[in-house]
A = this chain, B = another copy of it.
Amino acid sequence: MARGNTRQRIQDVALGLFAEQGYEKTSLREIAEHLDVTKAALYYHFKTKEDIIIGIFQDLTRPVDELIDWAREQPRTLEVREEILRRYQESLISAYPLFRFMQENQAAVRELSIGLTFKERMLELSGLIQEPDFTVLDRVRCVSAIFTLHAGMFFMDNVEGDSEEKREAVLEVALDLLSQAHGGPVAGA
């Protein structure tokens, strides 16, 4: 019937199921049934189960990798760092299902032949918003800023309120943490 887009449909259905049930728990039989094709059809489009997920990763982590690349070439100013957080939040939101999948399946995915892991990307990003001479306290603030953006994803789903308002609030808290790390106005100052 529909042709040409099967590869894409496989990835969509697969990511949905992976995110919902976990990678290991989702069988190719299940994916095939959802698509109303045979398991063998999946193998026409992807060499292995791992390949399916790697394909998804490559498509969807590109924005974050591009962000990292971009950030590496920028001057190390507060403005740039704020921009990093802004862009990171955008990436998280636009690749939400993948993000959720990565977050909730870290163990299962760790061994996959995927370039950078979730953790490694986070480390990289948190490095890019710090100065080498930061105190431990300020380093924590930077990592916390990133985790706040992640918390935002969680927040979106589980706390009531206007979506856009929540997004902005999350970003504000993250930016606050960043500026505090950068010697910004702090309590009592």
Contact = CB atoms under 8 A, between A and B. Distances in A.
Given A154-B119, A173-B144, A108 B25 contact: yes
A86 interface: no
Contacts of A107: 18-23, 25, 101, 104-105, 108
A188 B187 contact: no
Interface residues of A, number: 57
A105 B103 contact: no
- Report how many copies the assembly holds: 4
Nearest to A162: B136
A21 B176 CA distance: 36
A165 B139 CA distance: 12
Interface in A2-44: 18-25
Interface stretch (A53-61, A66-74, A145-153): A145-153
Contacts of A24: 22, 24-25, 108
Interface in A70-121: 101, 103-108, 110-111, 119
A143 interface: yes
B25 A169 contact: no
A166 interface: yes
A139 B151 contact: no
B108 A22 contact: yes
Contacts of A184: 187
15 contacts: A21-B107, A21-B111, A24-B24, A25-B107, A104-B107, A105-B106, A105-B107, A108-B108, A119-B154, A135-B169, A137-B169, A137-B173, A140-B170, A144-B144, A177-B177
Given A146-B151, A177-B177, A179-B187, 11 more contacts: A21-B107, A21-B111, A22-B24, A23-B107, A135-B169, A137-B173, A140-B170, A140-B172, A140-B173, A143-B154, A187-B189
